[in-house]
Structure 1
Amino acid sequence: MSKAVAGEAAVDVANEAMTLCGGRGYRENGKLARLLRDARASHVMAPTTNLLKLWAGKALLGLPLL
């Protein structure tokens, strides 16, 4: 679950930083644009955030993971 929480927090922080910086954050070589791409990638890297949440819910209910 720590991967899921950290990944969602990273996306939220990166989105807020891009909002505060406006168009300057979207520059091709901008550090914020790279951080946002990296943060969004954490949602799709295996195991995905949705899969982690599903596993956590099943574990709490005592159901088999697969």
Structure 2
Amino acid sequence: MGKWLKTQFGQYTLASTLVLLSFPFLYLAGTRGQVGLLIVAFILLGLGMVYPLIGLLYKINK
């Protein structure tokens, strides 16, 4: 699994999975008004957006 995550396809797959996982939390936070679910959703969204950038910066500096 380590080799797979080092490829660009693996990084974007993980990032898109994290972003897609955040949508149910956003929905539940909106319907139930719970701040904890909103925080979890934003953490997942943030990780999904930042993870490919970290891989890109690592590849540039290498």
Q: What range is the shorter-chain TM-score in?
A: 0.3 to 0.5
Larger radius of gyration: 1
Structure ranking higher in helix proportion: 2
TM-score by length of 1: 0.45
TM-score by length of 2: 0.46
